[in-house]
Amino acid sequence: MEPPASPRRVTIVDVARHAQVSTTAVSKVLRNAYGASPEMRAKVRRAIDELGYRPLAAARGMRGRTYTIGVMLPDIRNPFFPEILDGITGCLEDTDYQVLLGPGCNGEKEELRVTEAMIDRGMDGLVLVAPVSSRDRLDHVASVLPTVVVGRHGHSPVYDTVVDDDAAGAALVVEHLAGLGHRRIAHFEHHETDPTRTAEMPNAQRADGYRRAMRNLGLDAETDVVSTTYTQQGGYLGAKELLARALRPTAVFAGADIVAMGVLEAVDEAGLSVPGDLSVAGYDNTTFAALGPISLTSVDQAGREIGRNAARLLLERIADRGKPSVQVKLSPTLVERRTTARPGA
């Protein structure tokens, strides 16, 4: 007994016959091209819905566009990045574009593999979130496909950027903690050695903002930076180091909420309390920061607004590859919660 034949894919010819129009008319509707009347568009759209027609992305790419956008996320475990993704997908909701994700895994080799795969698959544009690749590599990618880079403070003539004012956000945290009476305020930075990334990445900007704010408040002698990683494990290990000291800080500015979670874990493990023994502030204002049992003071850098701006700029660059590059810088705000209080409170 022969296996049943696979159902045949509906083609543009089937749509044309069903709508009783030419294939040229169907093509115009699919491309949203000039020359198709509202009545014609309605007939074709109705036929597409009734037949369940789906255009092949590869075929659309041969005609100029695939209507797919690649988004590279450095770490899918970090709860801040879905906020950016929500902003991107929300901006594209009323368009024909679909988003495909690729994990960059916080490494140049992995980013190279992901971006090349997206280019090879004919995507119309890329949003690269906090990429660690070199400037030359980013320039090369942007010369091949319209690109928007999120979370890199450098300027480029070939790609647009969306960033948070990370130095200002760090100052908000330091000023808040100093206003509560803290002087020994430690900061957890993401360890970085590449000079370009040191100048451009958010973690470096936040560390610089922390140092500058401490100096401006006359607390330069109390500056205390712990180099770790922007992960929960990094925060945990950094906090273990701080808590083992004879003279502990009274407050910690973790460079990201995910780092702050590791700090909270280490403090609890040591039998200490937050904020009684240690005030803790994060950065990103992720969804779990607002959870009642956590109630983490954090800097809100408006992740969804970052994503919306990235998608808007990418659509503009897809429409006009030669337009001057743009940098959007958003102003952060501080959300005060229960993990920060006066020393010993």
pLDDT for 268-309, tens place per residue?
A: 999 999 999 999 999 999 999 999 999 999 999 999 999 999
User: What is the per-residue pLDDT across 6-34, written as a single tens digit (0 to 9) for each?
Assistant: 566 788 888 888 888 888 888 778 766 77
The pLDDT score that the predictor gives to residue 62 is 43
The pLDDT score that the predictor gives to residue 190 is 86
Task: Decide which of 39 and 167 is more confident.
Answer: 167
What value does the mean pLDDT take over residues 131-157?
93
Task: Decide which of 39 and 1 is more confident.
Answer: 39
Task: Please state, in angstroms and rounded to a whole number, the distance separating the CA atoms of residues 172 and 333.
Answer: 8
State the pTM of this model: 0.81
Lowest mean pLDDT among 46-60, 144-158, 178-192: 46-60
The pLDDT score that the predictor gives to residue 26 is 81
Count the helix, strand and coil residues of the chain and give each as a percent rounded to the nearest 5. 45, 15, 40
What confidence tier does 37 reach under pLDDT thresholds 50, 70, 90?
confident
Return mean pLDDT, the chain.
90
Task: Decide which of 120 and 306 is more confident.
Answer: 306
Task: Decide which of 225 and 33 is more confident.
Answer: 225
% pLDDT > 90, the chain:
68
- 60, pLDDT greater than 80: no
Sheet holding 251-254, edge to edge: 224-228, 185-190, 251-254, 279-283, 297-300, 333-335
Lowest mean pLDDT among 26-40, 161-175, 226-240: 26-40
The pLDDT score that the predictor gives to residue 9 is 75
User: What is the per-residue pLDDT across 200-210, written as a single tens digit (0 to 9) for each?
Assistant: 889 999 999 99
Contact 102, 69 (CB under 8 A): no
Contact 332, 164 (CB under 8 A): yes
Supply 46's token pair.
């109705």
Residue 328 Cα to chain centre, angstroms: 14
What value does the mean pLDDT take over residues 92-116?
89
Question: Which stretches of 306-345 are assigned E, i.e. beta strand?
Answer: 327-330, 333-335
The pLDDT score that the predictor gives to residue 64 is 56
Q: Give 196's Cβ-side CA count (13 Å radius).
A: 12
What value does the mean pLDDT take over residues 29-56?
80
The pLDDT score that the predictor gives to residue 12 is 80
The pLDDT score that the predictor gives to residue 4 is 52
Amino acid 20 reads Q
Amino acid 184 reads R
